[in-house]
Structure 1
């Protein structure tokens, strides 16, 4: 396994710090004249869409202050772009489509309000946190999963629908109908067949599927073990553009969840099961190298939650990936 050099890890830490304090005023200042009066506005790119905020007259003191702040923030953004470019020379970043999707979701504030990126899209963001480059064969994906526990079930979020958010990344995104045409959509797809799924922890067997997310005009598919996976998530930066702030499951929990999930797949999902095992194997190897106690703690915690649904699938997956030294 290829370790990420310490200087590159330091650059990533610098990027993460800069992204965390970035201002919403990062935008290009554009001037226009109407009736001989000069006005200013801010233009921002979100995903693949341009948004415009009108500030007011160019001779207004408050408007001039906002414009100057925007110019300063754009200089910081350019510096972050250079950092992302440097990091991507060693650490693979997300595809352009995934990067735009994450940018649109982050801009809408979903990660700040409890959404957690999971699945292979999250897996691609782990190398800087693990200090190791993960095998490229295990990061191929055509979808992004969002676990929306707090966001979905613990209060409304004022704002756009999920469809509108995703259409900022790609105008061709549309909701896919489920088995019940009256149920809110939990899956969205663009013209390139890139899919975004909304998921939520299953609280009881009687949970509605999908669970309604009224504020997003969407739904979320309830899944077992998801509440354990996304408990106490960690911040990370997706290496796209000037860096996109996301939230991820804790690395060790992600690895253990993959061990479980690989054994839960049906016979028709053999390819996904193999991908789960490949990702789990890579994550376990990286964690044993750089964070062995975190991995042991996650394994112990999961095994202690039950034999059939937790410990047994973990043991089977560890045996399959050849890691027979798990406690």
Structure 2
């Protein structure tokens, strides 16, 4: 794998910090601007926002001679200037460092949910859109063939959704600001709830939450108080994936600050779900894509000498029970032989460094069974 030059890794770190600062500083839509207008001999601040139809919506802000309000206006000017600089950083990382950016609709959807507060409320971006963040996070270029997607998946622990005592605006209205054709898809098990939204073009957005109980609960939607009217589909193994996520920047617009799974958890989770797909044509293709992403992230982490983190996540999943072990074994056996040997060797080394016994984790390459 080709490493991303250190200069661009530094630029990405700067973008991440600026994006974090911007997420705290933004109080007004950055597409608008403040205007000072005189009314009856006194000057007032107004905020003009384009209405999308060639006109503008004007909102009263306060008197110019109020120092606190004028300070807010000046801060906004600094924020807009910083957003221009962030856009330049994103453009440089995409054009010169060849880092991936999402297609426009995906980026707009993630940005809209970010601005609505989804990530502030500890939501996590998962799936292939999250995978697009890992080249910058890991400092290596990953194959682009495993980055194509026509949907976006978001997850949150139900316990967090209840505990934060806050909520984002309506998910449906947020999505319709991106594409007015988005509609709710009533859940098959209970039409009162919605976990999926789809546009006329077929683009899907889905909300998920871990299922730690019986498989019986997997078919029932879970109400999510923080998610602006959306429910979530419970899934097995998801609690492992979204535990202790990391911050990353999706290279869209001025950079979108998101929470994504730790790369080691993403890789091991993909091994697990790859072996549990339905084996029709669609499921087979998704299974191959899952394994490709898992193997690529593991290989990148090994090259970046992050084997202990990878080994720690591997052991945690392996120790969770027979179903987890079998799923991991099945997917590992289907990875191309040379790469599989490198992964198992690195895992064995990482497990030893963590003072555990690799023999308990089936990471030694098994000899091929000779034909009879």
For residue 223 of structure 2, give the secondary structure of its aligned residue in structure 1: strand
The 5-angstrom pairing of residues 81-96 of structure 1 reads: 81-89=87-95, 90-96=98-104
Is residue 2:142 matched to residue 1:134?
yes
Partner of 1:41: 46
Larger CA deviation: 285-294 vs 235-244: 285-294
Moved more, 51-60 or 145-154: 51-60
What does 1:102-121 correspond to in 2, within 5 Å? Answer: 102-121=110-129
Give the 3-state SS of the residue equivalent to 2:186 in structure 1: coil
CA contact (8 A) 1:29 1:67 kept: no
The number of equivalent residue pairs is 322
Distance, in Å, in 1 between the alignment partners of 2:163 and 2:193 is 18
Q: Is the 8 A contact 2:101 2:250 kept in 1?
A: yes
Could you tell me how far 1:59 is from its partner in structure 2? 4.0
CA contact (8 A) 1:103 1:169 kept: no
Q: In the alignment, does 2:79 pair up with 1:73? A: yes
Q: Which runs of 5+ in 2 are unaligned?
A: 51-55, 345-362, 364-372
Tell me: CA distance 1:52–1:227, structure 2 relative to 1, closer, same or farther (3 Å): farther
| Matched residue, 2:317 | 302
- Counterpart CA distance in 1 for 2:298 and 2:48 is 44
1:165 aligns with 2:170: no
Partner of 1:270: 284
Structure 1 contact 145–196 (Cα < 8 Å) conserved: yes
- In the alignment, what sits opposite 2:258? 246
What is the TM-score of this pair, normalised by structure 2? 0.81
3-state SS of the aligned residue for 1:55?
strand
Instruction: Give the CA deviation at 1:306.
Output: 1.3
Match of 2:26 among 17, 24, 27: 24
Whose radius of gyration is greater, 1 or 2? 2
2:213 is equivalent to residue 199 of structure 1: no
Higher RCO (C-alpha under 8 Å, 6+ residues apart): 1
Any stretches of 5+ residues in structure 1 without a counterpart? Answer: none
Counterpart residue number, 2:3: 3
Q: What is the 5 A alignment of 1:227-242?
A: 227-242=239-254
- Pairwise CA distance, 1:217: 1.2
Q: Secondary structure at the match of 1:176?
A: strand
Q: Structure 1 residue 54: deviation in Å?
A: 3.8
Matches within 5 A, 1:139-154: 139-149=147-157, 150-154=159-163
C-alpha distance in 2 between matches for 1:108 and 1:54: 22
CA RMSD of aligned residues (A): 2.2
Shift of 1:183: 2.6
Moved more, 186-195 or 18-27: 18-27
Q: Is the 2:117–2:168 Cα contact (8 Å) retained in structure 1?
A: no
Q: Which residue of 2 aligns with 1:283?
A: 297
Structure 1 partner of 2:67: 61
